[in-house]
Amino acid sequence: MRCQPPAEIGASYSDIDTPALVIDLDAMERNMALLAERVSALGVRLRPHAKTHKSAMIAAKQVALGAVGICCQKVSEAEALAAGGVRDILVSNEVVGARKLSRLAALARQIRIGVCVDRFEQIAMLDAAARQAGAQIDILVEIDVGGRRCGVTPGPEATRFAAEIARCANLRFGGLQAYHGRAQHLRTPAERRAAIDAAQKGVIDTVAHLTAAGFVCDTIGGAGTGTFLIEGASGVWNELQAGSYIFMDADYAKNVSDEGGNAPRFEHALFVLATVMSATTSEQVVIDAGHKALSNDSGFPDVWRRPGLAYHRPSDEHGVIAVASGATPPSWGEKLLLVPGHCDPTVNLHDWYVGVRNFGTPQARVEALWPIDARGAVG
Amino acid sequence: MRCQPPAEIGASYSDIDTPALVIDLDAMERNMALLAERVSALGVRLRPHAKTHKSAMIAAKQVALGAVGICCQKVSEAEALAAGGVRDILVSNEVVGARKLSRLAALARQIRIGVCVDRFEQIAMLDAAARQAGAQIDILVEIDVGGRRCGVTPGPEATRFAAEIARCANLRFGGLQAYHGRAQHLRTPAERRAAIDAAQKGVIDTVAHLTAAGFVCDTIGGAGTGTFLIEGASGVWNELQAGSYIFMDADYAKNVSDEGGNAPRFEHALFVLATVMSATTSEQVVIDAGHKALSNDSGFPDVWRRPGLAYHRPSDEHGVIAVASGATPPSWGEKLLLVPGHCDPTVNLHDWYVGVRNFGTPQARVEALWPIDARGAVG
């Protein structure tokens, strides 16, 4: 029921059918090695977020580079990734509903599973599900460090949760989830630092209450691609959850990157390849990738290395490429590469990664076709 | 590789897991019957657009109500729907690339296939592909009636195309594709009428040139849910391609509907069911449906029949529900129904329809689970 892959392994780059989700394998591997090296130098653990890639194959590469496991957001994602061989998964999110808790507990019999809570009643429900499955589940108490989404208020509240978790035979208090999603996309280093500094105060206060009550946080998790250097150097967070660094998207590229000139430069490694399917005027052409091939929630994609071309006016199956005066218009049938505005929901639209080696050179070849295992796993 | 369905047939409504794409079957059936009746009364043909629903099961219901076939936008969609039993498909779009043309021609050996062109060179390519497959393909020349997307300029140009098509042994000139997508969502009846009146002038002019050259247009196709009454009554269009009427979305609901008080009232029949997964403050709650469960390209979803609740600040797996002062806040674990801003790309995010009978009553039950056959079929 999965769609046919848009290429065959070994095919030349020009034979990839469109729209296709294409990885520059060399760039992705450089991104993965660079982040792993930087996190290792900070002396903290890496648990990359698989909500970005949804691929057991890529998760395995992250673990091979030293990651202690991966994060995901949904029970069904965890199931798909566990089926692909991942052995340690944190669902960095709240899970609600008897059916989902029971599936989560079943998974925890097979692999190490952690999950977040921000509701007191949920602790007993998780314990009951784990007991029924004969499993142990690690619990992180999520605190709201500025995202105004999930999480309890930093301070004494988490201690009440930890005490309740400690009373449950099939749960283990693992620490805190302290992720500041909104901070990742603040444009200047100063804004990002201010946001994480404020978050850090909340984490320190919460940990002080926990420590005073005799609770140890094995894990203080959080951070993303936009801020991981700050959390990693804080002496507070000890497990970093960056995800987007492997691919980088057009929105992340708008962040001004300058942590004292020391920030790693991640490369764009994920593209939607599209074909010019209509070219009836000189001011614009139409390509075969619209809302169903690209998520436009964080802005339109950039047209890769084609100055003067701009994607706009997407509809479900079409995108319009405006051609600036003086720019070379793409020809009918030509293929264009788009850097997605936002990788995560774009990946979720596709069934296959087409991994290209020697991307951007005449030797470019399809080296890998990887299923996007957890595509559509929203439950 | 398809995700598990979020419910079982026969289950009570309250047992549906979330996020789920839920159909109010009664409302959908009323919408389908109402449109079929109105199009029949206009004395024109109906060829509903399956890009909305991507389901062979729903296509079969449309054909049972008198549709001559269905439209879709992509070769892979046509393949998925043909595999589900649909026998007459118009790909109401241009198809570019040897691989896709060869697949389209292979399909045309099995079922009746039509496709659009707006590029002269493409005619010979289509003919070659059809000849190689031993197939016949119907060709509509697309004209740009105001959408500024694909299509040749109305007027004499289409006649040159028709003449070339007529010279090709494996192609048949079928007429014109004249769809005005942008007109569908113009808010007032007067704006929509003005747009279609302008489009109509272009169609009449194009047909006059074709007729003078001896070409007959079996089909003049176009129209959508927002304007089909206008095209249908024009005496010009003879095959209507509405799609969204079966489900209706929050964006279409913003159209002011008053064709002399005569406009059919289509009901919201498609919902994303979501669960309140975090409720830590009185001003907002967080639900388990974000960009990966809902397409927000045409505005955020409406919260169904819960005054004072507004969906906003979506992230990939979360949506925030703002609770207006004085409104009843949803409780933790409660399920909410969302009317998608835009149905088509929302449907494309899910693997299953959960069809509910007696929706909104205590007798509500899951009657059907339909696979979304062409989910992800973007190629």
User: What are the strands, taking DSSP E only, across A55-164?
Assistant: 70-72, 88-94, 112-117, 137-142
Pull the structure tokens for residue A267. 């490369």
Taking the C-alpha atoms of residue B308 and residue B284, their distance in angstroms, rounded to an integer, is 11
What is the amino acid identity at position B157? E
Furthest C-alpha separation in chain A = 71
What distances in angstroms separate CA B350 from CA A347, B45, B144, B270, B334, one per listed residue? 14, 30, 32, 12, 21
CB contact under 8 A, A280 and B150: yes
Taking the C-alpha atoms of residue A2 and residue A371, their distance in angstroms, rounded to an integer, is 9
**B89, β-bridge pairs:** B70, B113
Instruction: Determine which of B277, B292, B369 to mutate to test the interface with A (most A C-beta atoms within 10 Å).
Output: B292
CB contact under 8 A, B280 and A150: yes
What is the amino acid identity at position B267? E
Q: Which of these ranges, B207-211, B262-266, B318-322, has the smallest mean pLDDT?
A: B262-266
SS3 B268: coil
Cβ atoms B71, B369 nearer than 8 A: no
What is the amino acid identity at position A161? F
Q: How far is A347 from chain B (nearest CA, A)?
A: 10
CB contact under 8 A, B149 and A295: no
- Kindly tell me if the per-residue pLDDT of B40 is higher than 60: yes
Which residues does A196 contact at the CB level (< 8 Å), separation at least 6?
A180, A183, A227, A230, A231, A234
Length of chain B in terms of residues written: 379
Which of B100, B119, B317 is facing A93, going by the closest CB pair?
Answer: B317
Taking the C-alpha atoms of residue A160 and residue B276, their distance in angstroms, rounded to an integer, is 22
What is the per-residue pLDDT for A313?
Answer: 95
A313: left (phi over 0), alpha (psi -120 to 50) or beta: left
Cβ atoms A328, A317 nearer than 8 A: no
Instruction: Determine which of B71, B273, B278, B332 to mutate to test the interface with A (most A C-beta atoms within 10 Å).
Output: B278
The mean pLDDT of A250-277, rounded to a whole number, is 89
Q: What sections of B134-283 are H helices per DSSP?
A: 157-166, 189-212, 228-232
**Residue in the block written with tokens 């009643």:** A121
CB contact under 8 A, A332 and B119: yes
What is the per-residue pLDDT for B248?
Answer: 96
* Long-range contacts of the stretch B221-224 (C-beta < 8 A, 24+): B221/B47, B221/B71, B221/B90, B221/B92, B221/B140, B221/B175, B221/B176, B221/B177, B221/B178, B221/B179, B222/B145, B222/B177, B222/B178, B222/B179, B222/B180, B223/B179, B224/B49, B224/B179, B224/B180, B224/B181, B224/B183, B224/B184
Taking the C-alpha atoms of residue B204 and residue A83, their distance in angstroms, rounded to an integer, is 59
CB contact under 8 A, B315 and A6: no
What is the per-residue pLDDT for B23?
Answer: 98
Instruction: With a threshold of 0.90, tell me whether the complex ipTM lies above it.
Output: yes
Cβ atoms B222, B236 nearer than 8 A: no
CB contact under 8 A, A278 and B149: yes
Domains of chain B with bracketed CATH: 13-21+266-371 (2.40.37.20), 25-254 (3.20.20.10)
Cis check for the bond before A19: say yes or no (omega within 30 of 0): yes
Taking contacts as CB-CB distances below 8 angstroms, the residues of chain A near B19 are 378-379
The mean pLDDT of B237-243, rounded to a whole number, is 98
Is pTM beyond 0.90 here?
A: yes
Q: Please classify residue A228 by burial: count the beta carbons closer than 10 Å to its beta carbon, then call 0-12 exposed, 13-18 middle and 19+ buried.
A: buried
- Kindly tell me if the per-residue pLDDT of B218 is higher than 90: yes
Taking the C-alpha atoms of residue A262 and residue A38, their distance in angstroms, rounded to an integer, is 11
What distances in angstroms separate CA A274 from CA A281, A341, B18, one per listed residue? 19, 15, 33
**Residue in the block written with tokens 């393949």:** B79
Question: What pLDDT, in 10s, does the model give residues A38-97?
Answer: 999 999 999 999 999 999 999 999 999 999 999 999 999 999 999 999 999 999 999 999
Q: How far is B200 from chain A (nearest CA, A)?
A: 20
What is the per-residue pLDDT for A194?
Answer: 97
CB contact under 8 A, B318 and A149: yes
Q: Please, what is the average pLDDT of chain B? A: 96
- Kindly tell me if the per-residue pLDDT of A1 is higher than 60: no
Question: What pLDDT, in 10s, does the model give residues B54-78?
Answer: 999 999 999 999 999 999 999 999 9
Pull the structure tokens for residue A292. 């169903």
What is the per-residue pLDDT for B1?
Answer: 58
What is the per-residue pLDDT for B207?
Answer: 98
What is the per-residue pLDDT for B257?
Answer: 77
Q: What is the DSSP string of B52-107?
A: TT--HHHHHHHHHTT-S-EEESSHHHHHHHHHTT--EEEEEEE--SHHHHHHHHHH
The mean pLDDT of B238-260, rounded to a whole number, is 90
Question: What pLDDT, in 10s, does the model give residues B299-324?
Answer: 999 999 999 999 999 999 999 999 99
Q: Please classify residue B264 by burial: count the beta carbons closer than 10 Å to its beta carbon, then call 0-12 exposed, 13-18 middle and 19+ buried.
A: middle
Q: Please, what is the average pLDDT of chain A? A: 96
What is the amino acid identity at position A39? V
Question: What pLDDT, in 10s, does the model give residues A149-196?
Answer: 999 999 999 999 999 999 999 999 999 999 999 999 999 999 999 999
Please give the share of chain B, as a percent, with pLDDT higher than 70: 99
Q: Please classify residue B274 by burial: count the beta carbons closer than 10 Å to its beta carbon, then call 0-12 exposed, 13-18 middle and 19+ buried.
A: buried
Instruction: Determine which of A75, A118, A278, A313 to mutate to test the interface with B (most B C-beta atoms within 10 Å).
Output: A278
SS3 A177: strand
What is the per-residue pLDDT for A121?
Answer: 97
Taking contacts as CB-CB distances below 8 angstroms, the residues of chain B near A72 are none
- Compare all CA atoms of chain A with the CA of B349 and give the residue at the minimum distance: A376
Which of B279, B296, B379 is facing A19, going by the closest CB pair?
Answer: B379
Cβ atoms B305, A137 nearer than 8 A: no
- Dihedral of alpha carbons B14, B20, B24, B29, sign: negative
Taking the C-alpha atoms of residue B122 and residue A113, their distance in angstroms, rounded to an integer, is 54
Q: Which of B21, B14, B15 is nearest to B369 (CA)?
A: B21
Per-residue confidence band for A262, with pLDDT thresholds at 50, 70 and 90? confident
SS3 B13: helix
